[in-house]
Amino acid sequence: MTTTENSTPMGFGRMHRKEDARFLRGRGHYVDDVNLPGMLHGAVLRSPHAHARVVSIDTSAAEAHPKVKAVITGQTLDGLDLAWMPTLSADVQAVLATDKVRFQGQEVAFVVADDRYAARDALELIDVDYEALPPVVDAQRALDEGAPVIRDDIDGKRDNHIFDWEAGDSGRTDEVFARADVVSAQDMLYPRVHPAPMETCGAVADMDPVTGKLTVWTTTQAPHAHRTLYALVAGLPEHKIRVISPDIGGGFGNKVGIYPGYVCAVVGSIVTGKPVKWMEDRSENLMSTSFARDYHMHGEIAASSDGKILGVRVKVLADHGAFNGTAQPTKFPAGFFSVFTGSYDIEAAHCAVTGVYTNKAPGGVAYACSFRITEAVYLIERLVDVLAFDLGMDPGELRMRNLLQPEQFPYQSKTGWEYDSGDYPRALTRAMEIAGYPELREEQKQRALAGDGTLMGIGISFFTEAVGAGPRKHMDILGLGMADGAELRVHPTGKAVLRLSCQSQGQGHETTFAQIVAEELGISPDDIDVVHGDTDQTPFGLGTYGSRSTPVSGGATAVVARRVRERAKIVASAMLEVSPDDLEWEKGRWFVQGDPDSGRTISEIALAAHSDLELPDGVEGHLDATCVYNPPNLTYPFGAYICVVDVDPETGQVQVRKFVAVDDCGVRINPMIVEGQVHGGLAEGIGMALMQVMAFDEDGNHLGGSFMDYLIPTSMECPTWELGETVTPSPHHPIGAKGIGESATVGSPAAVVNAVLDALKPYGVRHADMPLTPAAVWRALQNRPLRT
């Protein structure tokens, strides 16, 4: 294994990203770079109201605009049976409003024109007559008697209730709580946030009127699933649909679902017979595409007086917006929230989640969340700190006392998960060593005594994630089982092409997946091209989200490479005229046991596999192989994070001074890429903990439609990250790897919030909700005299 940064490893190890060659030179190719002959441009008219009846739409003036080629409304779509589309949660969502608008920014009409500017201009010529209705903005009021009913399109629907879901054993949990010495309870909100990828969403649709083939270039994290959905929604034959997902400028979960704009671009192309491009702008992206979180949680934690945690119970009110469009496996309406027991050895747990409609944009579980594990980790890690506060214990010591022990793995959690592997105490110890935890506590004490005015806080979070959905017998999205295909072709000269179903949005798949093949076959990663993001070129699979690429497609890649290796063994045995049983593998070649000089390299074997070499009966030649990988379980990455902040009690300003992150994602394919993933996720955690919220006023007006209001963390808010690692391989994954793409976003917000609240502890503040903006911190300190 090579670990130098600039040489190319023949397998796992640090290696610069292959894709950087084009990204750093501005040679990436994004949807907005697609320009086809005769292409037209679309623009979406959006609702100014959060809740209103659509009385009439007059499009005549827009249609008369000399550059306008078509104006599409809900009525046009109704005629094609396309006014509504299925969501990822088996609800329906309006493509263009017919009866009512249900959130501010909802799609009402679509204009197709010669250019972008004309399309935008013509939106202003459309005259919509709305009759305003009272909106439901506060999820806590959504189930009130007499609350306005948002989804009166659903037969017989008389309230805003979506689902009730529970996990764990409520009887056992209540029993445990009854005999506990201490019960700490806390309400907490994980506010609505937005992934805000650098590239907004868009599509270019091209329906060829002659062949009847529809090609859609689009920003999607799951091209194959989109293809199947287009086939089901539009009734087009699936082999006549090609979805191409070119380079993507960040997804973070925002690009999992199908948006009305994509469908409108397709309809626009069918109606005009020309390709149609639609790209949303920043405020459209922030207002109308998949939000994340919005979980109102009530948590309770029970413990003995000496700090042994016994049980946890939780009630959640989940704000799903106007249409239930959350993305998660069918059987999990609250995503994987039920891993909220976290990393602790407890006796019983129970959660009950209720989903409600409000007059806000649909979406949910986007933003590097591992399907609601962000909310779960935040809940348990805040509760543990609340318990430490009540017990007067050090939060580090309380965690250490309750962590699962290495010998408990594989561990059956009280809410139905099987954690595959872990050494939790080692990770927390490592983080405390890097941070110098005892010294930090001492410094905090001295600073408090010196009374220099600023408040120092130390926050810990320990998280366990469940990533890599399937297996398909437990997990599907709209009936499509969660398994991934991979194909590997080895050319006669020994160069290879790997075809994947998963889709990179910036995670460096072209590098790391080539490294997996390199590790298995001993071909240089530079000699392996990774093809993805084109449904005509790649095998079916469920796409990239929930950090599933390495756990699932990575498994597929290792298995397909091993199949190639087995084929190569037969060919090598014919070349060397020995039995395959006499051959031994070392990276890159098969050789005769006991005679290391007689061997054949993988490229010699590849050439022979295409030659006139006589092969045993039943062996067809060539080395190519395919595989569908259906994972036996999820993988369970984990980590220990320590954050140090300084808080100015006069202004409420928080400065993150230090951040230590020890991650365990099993075997690391490319440590440099893993560290990059962690850096990005930590920055996002600071954004959520301190800056970000999608706010609405009482009329349902969206208050975060630009980066002036919705704040993105920059290097100014981030300290120099201090990273550490432990490696506990996944026992069931072919290369022992677990996912890493979302770990830091999942784990970091709790560490930052715990640090800020640790700083405010001398004032008796036990909890305050995110984002901990200067105003929020200042408010939390009002009327609270410093305790001495």
Residues that bind ligand MCN (CB under 6 A): 197, 250-253, 368, 505-509, 512, 544-550, 665-670, 673-674, 677, 680, 737-742
State the nearest-atom distance from the C-beta of 567 to ligand CUM, in Å.
35
Query: Please, what is the minimum distance in Å from the beta carbon of residue 750 to ligand CUM?
Result: 17
Query: How far apart (Å, rounded) are the C-alpha atoms in residues 659 and 440?
Result: 12
CB of 12 to ligand MCN, least distance (A): 8
Could you tell me the CA-to-CA distances from 377 to 344, 425, 638 in Å, in that order? 12, 17, 11
Select the binding partner of residue 674 from ligand CUM, ligand MCN, none (C-beta < 5 to 8 A, by kind).
ligand MCN
Choice between 499 and 668, CB closer to ligand MCN:
668
The least distance separating ligand CUM from the CB of residue 198, rounded to whole angstroms, comes to 15
Name which of 468 and 599 has its Cβ closer to ligand CUM.
Answer: 468
Show the tokens assigned to 9: 């490893």
Stretch that binds ligand CUM, among 115-123, 304-312, 365-373, 427-435 (CB under 6 A): 365-373
Both tokens assigned to 81 = 């049976």
Minimum Å gap between C-beta 468 and ligand MCN is 8
367 binds ligand CUM (CB under 6 A): yes
Angstrom distance (rounded) from CA 148 to CA 239: 44
Using the rule CB under 6 A, give the single segment among 72-80, 249-257, 452-460, 678-686 that binds ligand CUM: 249-257
Distance between CA atoms of 531 and 512, rounded to whole angstroms? 13
Please state the three-class secondary structure of 138-167 as a single string: CHHHCCCCCCCCCCCCCCCCCCCEEEEEEE
Site for ligand CUM in 541-560 (CB under 6 A): 545-546
Interface residues for ligand CUM in 488-547 (CB under 6 A)? 545-546
The Cα 369–Cα 380 span in angstroms is 15
3-state secondary structure (DSSP) of residue 360: coil
Question: Interface with ligand CUM includes 253 (CB under 6 A)?
Answer: yes
Which of ligand CUM, ligand MCN, none lies near 365, with the C-beta cut-off 5 to 8 A by kind? ligand CUM
Work out whether 252 is an interface residue with ligand CUM (CB under 6 A): yes
Check residue 365 for interaction with ligand CUM (CB under 6 A): yes
Nearer Cβ to ligand CUM (366/386): 366
Min CB(263)–ligand MCN separation in Å: 23
Radius of gyration of the chain (CA): 28
Reduced to 3 states (helix: H, G, I; strand: E, B; else coil), residue 258 is: coil
CB of 541 to ligand MCN, least distance (A): 11
- Closer residue to ligand MCN in complex, CB, 589/738: 738
Instruction: Give the residue at shortest CB distance from ligand MCN.
Output: 741
* Binders in 134-173 for ligand CUM, by CB under 6 A: none
> Shortest distance, CB of residue 27 to ligand MCN, whole angstroms?
17
Look at the block and give the residue holding tokens 């009847």.
Answer: 212
- The burial of 504, by beta-carbon neighbours within 10 Å (0-12 exposed, 13-18 middle, 19 or more buried), is given as buried
CA-based nearest residue to 371, from 336, 343, 421: 336
From the list 111-119, 362-370, 512-520, 531-539, the region that binds ligand CUM by CB under 6 A is: 362-370
For residue 157, the minimal CB distance to ligand MCN (Å) is 32
CB of 547 to ligand MCN, least distance (A): 4
Q: Which is nearer to ligand MCN, 342 or 506 (CB)?
A: 506
Q: Which does 668 bind (CB under 5 to 8 A by kind): ligand CUM, ligand MCN, none?
A: ligand MCN
103, 47 contact by CB (below 8 A): yes
Among ligand CUM, ligand MCN, none, what binds residue 250 when CB lies within 5 to 8 Å by partner kind?
ligand MCN
Q: Please give the Cα distance from 619 to 569 (Å, whole number).
A: 11
CB of 175 vs ligand MCN, minimal distance in Å: 38
Residue 300: which residues within 8 A CB-CB, separation 6 or more?
Answer: 177, 183, 184, 185, 186, 312, 313, 314, 383
In angstroms, what is the minimal distance from the CB of 635 to ligand CUM?
Answer: 14
Is 74 or 251 the residue whose CB approaches ligand MCN more closely? Answer: 251
- Is the CB of 186 or the CB of 544 nearer to ligand MCN? 544
CB-based contact 542:480 (threshold 8 Å): yes
Neighbour-count burial of 404, counting CB atoms closer than 10 A to its CB (0-12 exposed, 13-18 middle, 19+ buried)? buried
369 is a site residue for ligand CUM (CB under 6 A): yes
How far, in Å, CA of 69 to CA of 64, rounded?
9
Query: Amino acid letter at 449?
Result: L
Question: Which of ligand CUM, ligand MCN, none has residue 328 at its interface (CB below 5 to 8 Å by kind)?
Answer: none
Copy the structure tokens of residue 181: 């010495």
**Residue 740 site contact among ligand CUM, ligand MCN, none (CB < 5 to 8 Å, cut-off depends on kind):** ligand MCN
CB of 504 to ligand CUM, least distance (A): 12
d(C-alpha 408, C-alpha 416), whole Å: 15
**In whole angstroms, what is the distance from residue 256 CA to residue 254 CA?**
6
Binding of residue 366 to ligand CUM (CB under 6 A): yes
**Strand pairing class (276-279; 40-46):** parallel
DSSP state of 289: S
Q: List the beta bridge partners of residue 658.
A: 644
- What is the C-alpha to C-alpha distance for residues 573 and 579, in angstroms, rounded to an integer? 6
Which of ligand MCN, ligand CUM, none interacts with 739 (beta carbon under 5 to 8 A by kind)?
A: ligand MCN
The full length of the chain comes to: 788
Q: Count CB neighbours of 107 within 10 A.
A: 23
Instruction: Select 307 or 631, whichever has its Cβ closest to ligand CUM.
Output: 631
List of residues contacting ligand CUM (CB under 6 A) = 221, 251-253, 256, 365-369, 545-546, 742
